[in-house]
Structure 1
Amino acid sequence: MSASPPPVPLTGTTGAPATVPPFDQVAVRVAPGQDLVVRLPGVLLVVAVTTAAAGPATAPARPALVGWGPAPVPPAPVAAPTGDVHVGELVGLCRRVSAAGSRAPGRRLHEELHGWLLTVTDPPSFAVAAATEDGLALVLVGGGTAEVPDLGLRLTPAEGEKLDNGTLVLDRFVTWPPAALQLSAGAPAGTAPHPLADLEAGAVPGAAAVLSPAPAPTAAGPVPTGTTQLRLPAPHVVTPPLPPPPPRPAAPAPTPRAPEVLAPPAPPHDHAGHGHGDHADHDHGDHAGHDHAAPPAPVPPPPVELPAPKKSTLLFGGTGEPEPPREPLPTPGAAPAAGAPAAEPEDERPQVKGILCKNGHLNDPRAGFCALCGIRTTQQTAVLVEGPRPPLGLLVFDDGATVSLDMDYLLGREPETDERVASGQLRPLLVVDTTGGVSRHHAEIRLEGWDVLLVDTGSANGTLVAPRGAPGWSSLVPGQPVRLTPGMAVRMGGRQFAFESPHGGF
């Protein structure tokens, strides 16, 4: 099975790499062994573990069990790892730095390890790689090594410095290699790691850890309820929406009551000709034969006649002042009156140079077709004309909301608190994220000429981008602008949007 190629780093407008592989989204494969491999957010550690000699084999006491056959065979003696205090201190230090919340703890871990090594007389051999804003921080001690076998690169502590206690240490900031990086604590890896094995988090035994810049495979199917999804979904996979909640049963509509008609009381029945004694023998069935008069229908009230409307009068009395005479309305077809024509409002949009289609629409000089009418722009002469810049595209968010890009934006949880927003230099774009992964001032959208640039402003959790068709995400280097291309996906915290634009020759 062939591995996916690593994402190609995007180059910023300054020529420096604008993206790096996101540390926590790449696969880590562990080769079998006796050392300890620890993966934390932003940190990967391989540390040597000492083992105790195997003791003599002793037959275990057989409990009284039925159906388990004859007496058990004594197990072969194996070497067991011993509890090293320094190993525990090293793992605890990495956990503390990783738990500080920074997505790039490499520089802080570099400083913490340098101070810790000065206090330890016999540190264990280890190799650690931690994420920085624009690369990796490597610390190799004792027998720790870092190598890129596909490129023939290898680093050892012998290339570093020797501490006062005689320990060799190499601490260096490096760029992400375009191939797999292997870390080990000195033990040989007799077996290559399984291609499907992937350590997302935790501590496991192993001889080496292979950190590959290729994207890790995403699990198919929904995430089980009650678990935490550490790996992000593929950039251009549409997540099916959650099923709508079942409708609540509607309350039964009240039964309308028939209107009560107050009828006049019926006239009393003439029982004078019937004795009470005879009334007992009177057939009630014949009682219906008595002629009862129907109640008279209610008489409608007479219509109310409204008074005739009055002419307008002054509210506070007195005589109104006569209205001054007005100028006559202009006659159709007559010559306009002499005077300066009214000035049209000035277009405040930025002016850019482009080419006009035959319908007069201004377009990006790199475009082959008009963004509005779709006709070929190469039919016109390639003469640049300056005019107001049209909107350069749309941001389509995961909830269906769209934002037209006609000026610079500041995206974040509280963009209105920035001074540039208060001064009108940037327009605020509020990004609501229930996961809390969006910073107050997370990223900027800048319009320069016909290009749309995205800049991470030093957010806590970073900004991930993926061009159309890319297999995985890349992390933006803070302060390095990257040009957005149509179809590029952008992820900030738990929110995602795509950039769409008809402009430019992409």
Structure 2
Amino acid sequence: MTGHGFGVVRPLPGNGLVAYTGGLLLVCDSAESAADALLEALRETAESGGDGRALARRAAQVLAANMAGDPATCAVAGPVGDGVAVLVSGSASATVTTPGGDTRLAGSDSLTWADRLVTGPVDRVELSLPGVGSPHHAVRLDGGVVHGGGLIGDLTDQPAPQPPAPARMLTSEMPATGLHMEPDLIQPPAQQPPAPPEPVQQPAEQRPPYPLADQPPLTPGPHSGPQSAHSGPQPIHPAPEPPPYQPEPSYQPEPSYQQQDSGYHEPPAYLTPPEPPYPPAQEQQPSLPEQQQFPTYDEPQPAGNGSGDHPVPQHMGQPDHYDQPAPPVLGPPDQFDHPGPPQQEQPEQGDRPMVYGVDCKNDHFNDPRVPYCAVCGIALVQRTLVPYKGPRPSLGVLILDDGTALPLESDYLLGRDPERAPEVAGGSARPAKVTSPDGSVSRRHLRVALDGWDVNLVDLGSVNGTQIQPPGDPNFYDIPPNEPVTIAPGTTVRVGVSRTLRFEAHRG
């Protein structure tokens, strides 16, 4: 998004209400009972400086409080970073255009409402009601509430910059009256700076104390000029510092100057260029032999990896758990450096996927990367284990804050209305309905995806986002939308604003 909000906003003809306030958009059916509450939510969000996420949350609260009949027909949108948050309900629809294509939302796709966080950059946003007309190029909405059937926010067509305010007239251009004189604008006439008084005309007692430390104070001589007409001692006032003496390159003192009997044999100190505290010699660049005292990195480094004469084999890694070596890289059985005949792959058992794992001495199938058995807790000595491909057991359980347990044997889709999601309809995920009184859980909010032995979370562009709290960490962290994030056992997950769940890996 930009500093202009949605760029140029054009209302679409229709019979509803359209509003644009503080960079936030709203369209709704004027006959809806919730229209006034939605407009109030828009105004309060804009006054508090809220973004599109805050507006969608407020609109969801209004819709949740008016669920007695059919869903209200409305749509809201607002910027979130360089993206946009959109919520649609009832017969309203929204289209968000990005360089990657269009994202369309329809309230009819959900039993309640649909919302989405579309990451940027965003080029165009359109909110529309049924029976909407086409926009007119000469009509635009800079702010407020008008009749209409929709809105188009075109970020590629930015408003024209405002002309700069006219500069104030100078005093010389204004009547010379007392009412128009502005001292802060009066420019003094250009004058030459007053020439400093010649040093020879200055009384000795008012000269700056410039005599050198090893010389007595100077006394007036024939070249000091006439004495002051005032009699008696004069108070000594600090005189302005004379300009530095800058002799011409070809200046040579006249021979008669040194032969005159003036009472002293050297010119006054203030006429003599002061000696610099250090010799004005040209800076010497350090010679090349002095630079060679620094270490050079052109010499070849000693061979090896710093471990003596016995380098670590390349196929070995650093110990992962105490003194146990890291597990070998997973692959077909014939790629492992273990004696014995190759293991036979077992056929898939039902819907359980086949993965590579190891057995503890109690024949519990485990992730080959873990140091202990997840069932009985016995230590797994990797050097004595042979990985093979077998059916993956349950990876644990997700425990919701209301006590609901979801065994991690397949993928899940969590949300306010997961049954209508395409992932559930296609059979790739099980539905897990999670609602909240504040309306912060999206229709399709979060997918729990199992990949091998890993449990991944994918936020499906929800408006209010998903946060995780790693084990032992007191803070929650936002996960990026539409990117898988692997979580460890003991992680707490916050869905929306108020719902949480916890990942437990114990299967025994």
- TM range, smaller chain: 0.3 to 0.5
Q: TM-score, normalised by structure 1?
A: 0.35
